[in-house]
A and B are shown apart, each in its own frame.
Chain A
Amino acid sequence: MWVDVLIILLKVLVVLLALIHLGALLTWAERKQSAAIQDRIGPNRARIAGRAAMGLFHAIADGIKMVTKEDFVPAGAHRTLHTLAPAAALFPALVVFAAIPFGDVLRIGERVIPLQIADLNVGIVYIFAISSMAVYGTMLAGWASNNNYALLGGLRASSQMISYEITMGLSIIGVLMIYETAQLNVIVQKQGELLWGFLPKWGIVVQPVAFFLFLAAAMAENKRVPFDLPEGESEIIGYFVEYSSMKFAMFFLAEFVEIVIVSGLVVTLFFGGWQVPYLYADGFHWPFGWGVWQLPHLLVVLLQVASFGFKVLVGCWVLLTVRWTLPRFRYDQVMHLGWKILLELAFVNLLITAVVVLLIT
């Protein structure tokens, strides 16, 4: 009994720590990558024992700076909600990953450990339910700061997030239709099947339009360039203008953790999750009758987890690249894109998928 509890606690701990550390590392990756894109050197000054380690210590320096800064609450602000808002922003980001599988099952002796914190039969609905709560953090931050600019930023943020949530939800329904389940680890398992004997049945292969719709909508939910109107750090003022110290850091961390979440979701739904092409529980089964390559169980599990991690990192890299390559949309363009283009495309994609699924089955 207590071993089971221990295993669950261990899984929660590993996933949480991985998320937070990956989020913190992404701040470093973003600086170095933006520097490379803009032909700069990037951070290289923070040193420990005379070593700069490619600017890695800047993440630590940032943490120390955030913790030691003054925690300021503006006059006339709603004290409770002002304090609660950063937590409301960070909480959904940290909890969503519970339903995402990062590997198949691990067998140790008699014990079978699913490499997923919670195998919910409503997995994907759970993810949407929790991530729809993310908007409260921005709304409350805007409202509780007693600052008109923050309030306007909060309004921009919430209208944008409400608009793109619909497209995000609709784009996934096509995936649900094809894999006939909302359970995320079953979706991943079914992506191990082969089309015409050689092509892995990944989401990107069977639902390419949904992939682009989901990616665009998820990036809008993440509120980063090109959809960073809620914040607009370079000229307009955003909803967390009145935040400092760790409260600001929580908003900041939530944004970077959301990058990992978006990447993890895209990988799980469209790039086969922990699947490695042709790798099954007992080893590689090559297509075209090229034979079977037996592998020990532990190595297979390791390969699967490594595959998931690698795909998530590539996803993060793509998201950072997009953020540093595109200019920001204007507000009417964001609304136009969300309501008049992406939403319609999502409906058309849904209709076509439904017809095709009906014809095939």
Chain B
Amino acid sequence: MVFFFLLFAIVGLASAVMVVTRKNVMHAALFLLLTFACVGATYVMLRAEVLAAVQVLVYAGAVMVLFLFAILLVNMPEAVRLRQWTRQSTVAVVLAGLTGLWLIIATVRAFTGFAAPPEAATQPLGTPRAIGEALFSDYVLPFEIASLILLAAMVGAIVLARETAREEERPDEALTDLPPDTQEDQQPV
């Protein structure tokens, strides 16, 4: 168990470092994928199966796929030559240090006086039912707020896309507005 934890932790952290240091953005993305997979594996070892599956489904299967999709459209030789660093290391160090400190404090506080709930042995906390019940009872407000934020982001994306589409005002718009199956007949003979 400890061996596997160390394996996933070391591989995950090492590839996280690689994500930041690689010049080729495709390599960076693939190392990020490896990090996500290692985090998912640690979730499995903590018996949080739902979290693990969702981690792979959402981060590795959806978020990173969209990243790669954007990368496929990038001019790679030019992108590699771009400057990789902005000169704001002071701000970065301060922010990263504060975040790290806060994480350590939060972890320590969570584990002092921590006792497993009595039913934990028989009822694993990572089942879909347990997570669902927690989300819709104790954590319903954060859950709803998160869904509202996502909805707002979605509406925003659609509005932005619509505006650029309207600006383009393509001359062949009359054709593309037709249902797809009648388009063929409208082509000039």
Contacts and interface: CB of A to CB of B under 8 A. Distances in A.
B26 interface: yes
Given A125-B54, A125-B57, A333-B180, A158 B128 contact: no
Given A122-B128, A143-B26, A129 B53 contact: yes
Given A125-B50, A182-B128, A162 B66 contact: yes
A121 B128 contact: yes
A154 interface: yes
Given A122-B128, A162-B65, A182-B128, 5 more contacts: A120-B49, A122-B49, A129-B60, A133-B60, A159-B69
A142 B128 contact: no
A125 B65 contact: no
A332 B128 CA distance: 37
Listed residue (A129, A142, A181, A330) with the most chain B CB atoms within 10 angstroms of its CB: A129
Given A122-B50, A125-B50, A162 B57 contact: no
Contacts of A254: none
Contacts of A155: 69, 72-73
Interface in B49-71: 49-50, 52-54, 56-57, 60-62, 65-66, 68-69, 71
A135 B64 CA distance: 11
A121 B72 contact: no
A156 to B, nearest CB: 11
A132 interface: yes
A322 interface: no
A311 B57 CA distance: 28
A122 B65 contact: no
Interface in A123-150: 125-126, 128-130, 132-133, 135-136, 139, 142-143
A54 to B, nearest CB: 40
A107 interface: no
B127 interface: yes
Interface of A: 78, 81, 120-122, 125-126, 128-130, 132-133, 135-136, 139, 142-143, 151, 154-155, 158-159, 162, 165, 181-182, 330, 332-333, 336
Interface residues of B, number: 25
B23 to A, nearest CB: 14
B49 A132 contact: no
B72 A129 contact: no
Contact of B53 (A81, A126, A181, A336): A126
B69 A132 contact: no
Interface in B66-89: 66, 68-69, 71-73
B180 A135 contact: no
A151 B66 contact: no
Contacts of B65: 132, 135-136, 139, 158, 162
Contacts of B73: 155
Nearest to A143: B72
B53 A122 contact: yes
Nearest to B68: A139
Contact of A151 (B33, B60, B72, B180): B72
Nearest to A126: B53
Contact of B56 (A81, A130, A151, A181): A130
B69 to A, nearest CB: 6
25 contacts: A78-B26, A81-B26, A120-B49, A121-B49, A121-B128, A122-B49, A122-B50, A122-B53, A125-B128, A126-B53, A129-B60, A132-B60, A132-B62, A133-B56, A133-B61, A136-B65, A136-B68, A139-B65, A143-B26, A158-B68, A158-B69, A165-B62, A182-B128, A332-B180, A333-B181
Contacts of A126: 49, 53
B94 to A, nearest CB: 36
A336 B180 contact: yes
Given A139-B65, A162-B66, A330-B180, A132 B57 contact: yes
A139 B128 contact: no
Nearest to A132: B61
A122 B57 CA distance: 12
A128 B57 contact: yes
A130 to B, nearest CB: 7
Nearest to B40: A129
Nearest to A336: B180
Contact of B72 (A122, A132, A154, A162): A154
B51 to A, nearest CB: 9
A182 B54 CA distance: 13
Contacts of B60: 129, 132-133
